[in-house]
Structure 1
């Protein structure tokens, strides 16, 4: 019987009820609340990480754009914890689903663009037609700029989905190869196991980097429209 490589990306069901909403809510429980607990090392690390992220994401924003600090911090912590959740054995990665990533990308992009048209109407419209464009190229450039604007949320969602899916598929393939080689060649088993370990470490880094890239691009869209 052939093994289905995409089985880990199938939404889990229990008694006919989809478990995806409960899995999405799980990362929220992993973060302790500083106002309810006495400060300890975990709380201190969490506060230091939050301040570092805010410094990186907010240094380009004006005072109006800095009002989105809480939302951007929540977004990067949610995506990072959800990506890391998928690294656990027998788990499910919600961010490997394109529908969920589009559900995050489209409202954030639409909110940033609508805010730009409301606050900077002339500047937002000027992006569709660069200054000094020849008359014959005006219709073509307007179409190209419009397509590039509407493709931004797709690029956000597809980038996150592709990176998470590709990494999990590599882990699945190399893990299966390592198990198969234990019965065929004991000499090759340590080599493939070493590759699997290094790839696992890389996937932990990718999970965090992709969360940062997604949030940073959203932050840039908001910066251009505030």
Structure 2
């Protein structure tokens, strides 16, 4: 049962070749390229969302931090589209793979830390030992702060993976229950289908919120080090 339950998170394979790369590249086809000659509702909504997202994330950043605006915008768009991709029938959600999320989190976290050590060396090192710390607590506090620093990318990846996986797993369980009840209790099956529809609506919001949270945390790490 456990093996069948989690097979929905396996990477699709055709003729022995994994399709993860093609699936990850597919959402980028939904983004309109910049073109001033095209002005329709879709492009207007896209531009409005871009401006709103940049305003929310860049409002507290310095000039150095704002140079990351394009990268952060690309990141939130990439994660959002991959999260939403898993809500389509017979699709695969790349962000349910912890390895992929770790692969995004570690380079971004490391870049912010290295930037902080380069631009704010004293301030970055001062975080390991706050002023006024008792002498006996200095070794323990340094160890705790170091662990908390290195656990940041793991927390980023695990948070995204857990939230996306939990929603898809719940929809899979309810879908299986609905098919089972369909031949036994029709009214119960219809009630389950209504719950699934409401859950899908909730997952649409979760997919966008988790992309925003991931990018916002990266932005906060950048703000603390720029």
SS at match of 2:184: coil
1:28-177 superposed matches below 5 A = 28-35=28-35, 38-177=38-177
Counting matched residue pairs gives 226
Alpha-carbon distance between aligned partners in 1 of 2:76 and 2:184, rounded to the nearest angstrom: 43
Normalised by the length of structure 1, the TM-score is 0.97
Aligned to 1:205: 205
Q: Note the C-alpha offset of 1:191.
A: 1.5
Unaligned runs of 5+ in 2: none
Between the aligned partners of 2:52 and 2:116, the Cα distance in structure 1 is 27
Q: Compared with structure 1, are the counterparts of its residues 3 and 141 closer, same or farther at alpha carbon in structure 2 (3 Å cutoff)?
A: closer
The runs of at least 4 aligned residues of structure 1 exceeding 6 Å deviation read none
Q: Distance in 2 between matches of 1:187 and 1:107?
A: 51
Q: For residues 135 and 2 of structure 2, what CA distance do their matches in structure 1 show? A: 59
Write the deviation string for residues 74-126 of structure 1: whole angstroms up to 9, x where unpaired: 00000000000010111000000000000000000000000000100000000
- Separation in 1, partners of 2:75, 2:136: 43
TM-score (norm 2): 0.97
RMSD: 1.2
The whole-number CA distance in structure 1 between the counterparts of 2:151 and 2:144 is: 10
155 and 192 in structure 1: CA distance in 2 versus 1, 3 angstrom threshold:
same
Question: 2 CA distance for matches of 1:3 and 1:193?
Answer: 24
Higher percent of residues as helix: 2
Secondary structure of the corresponding residue to residue 5 of structure 1? helix
User: Cα deviations across residues 123-157 of structure 1 (Å, max 9, x unaligned)?
Assistant: 00000011111100000000000000000000000
In the alignment, structure 1 segments of 5+ residues that lack a partner are none
